[in-house]
Amino acid sequence: MIRVDGARLVVSGPATLATAAALIAQAREPLAGPVREVDLGEVTEVDSSLLAVLIAWLREAHAGGRSLALLRLPPDLTSLARLYGVAELLSQEAGR
């Protein structure tokens, strides 16, 4: 589900309610360390839980004084982000 490649955290497989807690737990240590990018290009399935996961990761990074770039956002995720009114938050981070 998560692997670290240098400063990049790569998320793969489904990112849904069933996996959200595991994603948060698996990313805790890497996000406290060298990770500055999250690559979502290998995510195979999304639901609104992924938005909550990403917001939690962004909050954690910002609390530590770091930015976190979001890369290769799945189209379904960007549609959900627009629906929930948080697309700007994700696109601001994606542009960093």
Model pLDDT for residues 38-62, shown as the tens digit of each residue: 999 999 999 999 999 999 999 988 8
* pLDDT for res 48: 95
* pLDDT for res 57: 94
Model pLDDT for residues 7-24, shown as the tens digit of each residue: 999 999 999 999 999 999
Q: Is the pLDDT of residue 36 over 90?
A: yes
93 band by pLDDT with thresholds 50, 70 and 90: low
Backbone angles phi, psi at 40, to 5 degrees: -105, 15
Tell me which CATH code domain 2-94 carries: 3.30.750.24
Contacts for 34 with CB less than 8 Å, ≥ 6 apart: 4, 6, 7
DSSP per position, 42-67: EEEEE-HHHHHHHHHHHHHHHHTT--
Q: Is the pLDDT of residue 95 over 60?
A: no
Identify whether the C-beta of residue 93 lies closer than 8 Å to the C-beta of residue 58.
yes
